[in-house]
Amino acid sequence: MAKLFACRGGQSEVNGAPEKVKLLPLGHVKSQKGDFDVDEESFRLMKQTFLERGNDIVIDYEHQTLKDVQAPAGGWIKDLSIEDGAIVAKVEWTPQGKKYLENREYRYLSPVVLVRKSDGKAIVLHSAALTNTPAIDGMFPIINSIKLDDYEGGNDMDIIKKLAALLGLGEDATEEQVTEALKAAVADAKKFKEGTENKNPEGGSEDEGKVVSNKVICEMLGLKAGAKTEDVAAAIVALTNKKPEGSVSEKEFKELKDKIARRDADDAVLMALKAGKLTPAQKDWATQYALKDPEGFKSFVEKAPQGVPMGELDIETKANKEETFDEATLLICKQLGVSEDDLKKYGKDVR
């Protein structure tokens, strides 16, 4: 059971264009999209992922990196550290980003983090954004969070635990067990109601008192006590399928993940080409390799010998495509009365 949140949160206030900016406080963090924890393990895992990827972390504007739009960088996170009870980023601002900050056109830095479902701990720093829209007061403690381990079904597990407790099941009860218990409870309530109605067709307070066994569940579902079986079933289905505000579908999440993977692969291949570790003819193969196994491709590039730089390869390829002749050949042909056009047409082997 999981969900993908890209929520706007309170953030670290930025004055001017500082080289170091606080991203996350150590401790329990509260946001409108759920609480989570940040500790030294969070920092260690964030730093480890940052070093393994080998790429600077982007600081964009208004979280444009999470949207299917052009996302220019306002700065780049070059390093992470722990200082003054917080995870701190060392930032290299772009000229435009620095200008925005110095003019106070943007004042807040809003991180996007990956939160582990098992213990609610932030473990990966995805990106950060300059923004002017903090969600609540207390700018520094409030952040954006993407719960990637948790992207398909919202807060269903919390609801299931509550239902399990009401039904007399253990905390480790599965969704299937809770569903079966609910079906049995609804069936029992239906039989009980039908039996009491047969005994007292005109209804009355006696029947209302005997249906109290289902009253708590009805209240949780927002229904009146003694609601019809089909109403209870419909409310449960709606609750299970409800999509939380700010969440995205599994398809949208996969598209975002594929887009980021493709961008990283293209960047890695381009760097390898510029370093002379690949030839242009290897580009398609290298891109597929980098998509399937980023770490394997990184290791391959590190071990590959340096060949001809990409710029030189382009020049050489262009020259090979043109039919040119040296000055000596052109001089001899001129003395013999042979034009350059005739030489290109009939004398391709004369060089």
Q: What is the DSSP string of 213-270?
A: GGHHHHHHTT--TT--HHHHHHHHHHHHHPPPTTB--HHHHHHHHHHHHHHHHHHHHH
Share of the chain above pLDDT 90, in %: 20
Over 70: is that where the pLDDT of 208 sits? no
What is the pLDDT at residue 323?
57
What is the pLDDT at residue 104?
87
Over 60: is that where the pLDDT of 333 sits? yes
| Residue 4 is assigned to a structural domain of this protein | no
Q: How many CB atoms lie within 10 A of CB 349?
A: 5
**Same-domain pairing of 280 and 316:** no
Quote the pTM value: 0.40
**Same-domain pairing of 103 and 80:** yes
Q: Which of 142, 153, 152, 150 lies closest to 8, judged by CA?
A: 142
What is the pLDDT at residue 254?
81
Over 70: is that where the pLDDT of 3 sits? no
Q: What is the DSSP string of 81-119?
A: EEETTEEEEEEEE-HHHHHHHHTTS--EEEEEEEEETTT
Of 59-68, 209-218, 273-282, least confident by mean pLDDT is 209-218
Please give the residue range of the domain that contains residue 118. 12-150
What is the pLDDT at residue 131?
84
**Same-domain pairing of 29 and 89:** yes
Residue 114 pairs in a beta bridge with: 124, 146
Q: How many domains does the chain have?
A: 4
Helix axes 175-199, 156-166, angle to 10 degrees: 50
Of 22-26, 28-32, 346-350, least confident by mean pLDDT is 346-350
Of 68-72, 112-116, 226-230, 329-333, least confident by mean pLDDT is 329-333
**Same-domain pairing of 62 and 125:** yes
**Same-domain pairing of 45 and 101:** yes
What is the pLDDT at residue 308?
56
| Residue 5 is assigned to a structural domain of this protein | no
Encode pLDDT of 224-257 as tens digits: 777 777 777 777 777 666 555 555 567 777 888 8
| Residue 2 is assigned to a structural domain of this protein | no
Place of tokens 């980021």: 260
What is the pLDDT at residue 194?
72
What is the pLDDT at residue 44?
94
Structure tokens at 198: 């047969």
- Give the span between the Cα atoms of 71 and 74, in whole angstroms: 9
What is the pLDDT at residue 6?
37
Mean pLDDT of all residues in 332-349: 67
Encode pLDDT of 67-88 as tens digits: 777 889 999 999 999 998 899 9
Place of tokens 């299937």: 176
* Whole-angstrom Cα Rg for the chain: 32
pLDDT band at 57 (very low <50, low <70, confident <90, very high): very high
Structure tokens at 62: 């208004």
**Same-domain pairing of 67 and 78:** yes
**Same-domain pairing of 265 and 200:** no
**Same-domain pairing of 209 and 110:** no
| Residue 59 is assigned to a structural domain of this protein | yes
What is the pLDDT at residue 270?
92
**Same-domain pairing of 37 and 94:** yes
DSSP at 306: P
| Residue 1 is assigned to a structural domain of this protein | no
The residues, any chain, with a CB within 8 Å of residue 346's CB and separated by 6 or more, are none
Over 90: is that where the pLDDT of 39 sits? yes
**Same-domain pairing of 197 and 277:** no
| Residue 286 is assigned to a structural domain of this protein | yes
Over 90: is that where the pLDDT of 304 sits? no
Mean pLDDT taken over the chain: 75
